[in-house]
Amino acid sequence: MDDDEGARAADASAGDGTAPASSRTRGGRGASVVPKTAVIAGGGALAVWEPAFTLGAYNVIFYYQMLTLWAVSTAVLLAGLLMRERGPRHGWVYRACLALPSAWISLAAIVPRSGNWQGEALFVVGGVISIIGAPLLTWVLLQLLLFGESELSVRQRRMVIGVVAVVGGLAFVLGEFNDVFLTCGDFDISGNSVPSGCRPGHASPLG
Contacts 24+ apart (CB under 8 A), 32-37: 33/156, 36/147, 36/150, 36/152, 36/156, 37/152, 37/156, 37/159, 37/160
Question: Please, what sign has the CA dihedral across residues 71, 73, 74, 75?
Answer: positive
Q: What is the pLDDT of residue 62?
A: 85
Q: How far apart are CA 36 and CA 156, in angstroms?
A: 10
User: 158-200 pLDDT, tens per residue?
Assistant: 888 888 889 989 999 999 999 998 999 999 988 889 999 999 9
User: 78-89 pLDDT, tens per residue?
Assistant: 887 887 665 556
Q: How far apart are CA 10 and CA 8, in angstroms?
A: 5
Segments making up each domain of the chain, as ranges = 49-155
